[in-house]
Amino acid sequence: MKKHIYVLLIIALLIPKQSKAQDGAAAAGALIGAAVAIGVGVAAVKQMEEQAELKATEWLLSNYPDLTSFYVKTMDFDGKKLKDMSSVSVITYKVREFTIDEDAKGDKKYIYGDKYVLFGYTSRGWINGNGINFQKVRWHLYDPLEWLNMMTEYVKVASGNKDKVFVEQTLKKGVVVNKGVKVKGRLEIPFRKLKGDMYLVSDYSDKIKLIFNERSLGIFLKETRDLVQIRRGTLISTHNFLFYKN
């Protein structure tokens, strides 16, 4: 929103103070038009985000009946511009179970339990003029163990380090950054340096392949044959949520 405000201020400053009345009116009209366009864009993105969060909740209710008390919170709803959002990406959500404890006075306390992260892998054209086409979204729920297994395989491919136990333990204490895995600011597992047209691949499961290219994590969806690039910030946010107190 700050960026939008700055844009409007710049437009306003470009309106000559001493312009003729008709020129001033035209400039003011252009400013209002820009404000409306920005407002519509922001509102559209917010509406799609809420729509996707509802669909994520419905998917959890349908596929995980054992989850009887949980919350769902959007972690990352692709931040590209509207005109670019039809391309392949991933939507991520924090999911956590909880129980409600009530004392003798009737005061309620929420006790939080197991954590999960829900990924909505999108395919080309997942957003169109009618909103989100959820037939082009593939959902997958990761618990800490599955996430750790996948990231361990990715780090092994990216770094060339085959010591699974060492990689797992390092990941539990650290975080994945551009150059590798860091623990308390120190690079413990460096990634291999590749050129832009080089790829290292792990056939991870019957559903996905893990791709390392230019220090990024790519997930190739076998069903749709789409390659999804996972943002570094998404990796860090997911890892921090699953393995650290918050």
How do residues 20-72 score in pLDDT, each as one tens digit?
444 544 554 554 454 444 455 667 777 888 888 999 999 999 999 999 999 99
Tally: H helices and E strands in the chain: 5, 13
Using only the alpha carbons of the chain, give its radius of gyration: 23
Q: Is the pLDDT of residue 203 over 80?
A: yes
The pLDDT of residue 50 is 87
Closest to 84 measured CA to CA, from 125, 118, 48: 125
Collapsed DSSP state (helix, strand, coil) of residue 22:
helix
Residue spans of the domains in the chain: they are 1-142, 143-246
The pLDDT of residue 197 is 82
- pLDDT-based confidence at residue 236 (cuts at 50, 70, 90): confident
The pLDDT of residue 147 is 95
The pLDDT of residue 20 is 45
The pLDDT of residue 46 is 78
Q: What percent of the chain has pLDDT over 70?
A: 78
The residue ranking higher by pLDDT, 99 or 33, is: 99
End-to-end CA distance of the chain: 26
Mean pLDDT of 195-220: 88
Three-state SS string across 142-203, please?
Answer: ECHHHHHHHHHHHHHHHHCCCCHHHHHHHHHHCEEECCEEEECCEEEEECCCCCCCCCEEEC
pLDDT in tens, 116-175: 999 999 888 888 777 788 999 999 999 999 999 999 999 999 999 999 999 999 999 998
The model carries a pTM of: 0.77
Identify the burial level of 92 via C-beta atoms within 10 angstroms of its C-beta, where 0-12 means exposed, 13-18 middle and 19 or more buried: buried
Q: Look up residue 144 and give its amino acid.
A: P
Mean pLDDT of 73-93: 70
Phi, psi (deg, nearest 5) at residue 190? -80, 145
The pLDDT of residue 246 is 63
Averaged pLDDT of the chain: 80
Closest to 190 measured CA to CA, from 176, 204, 202: 176
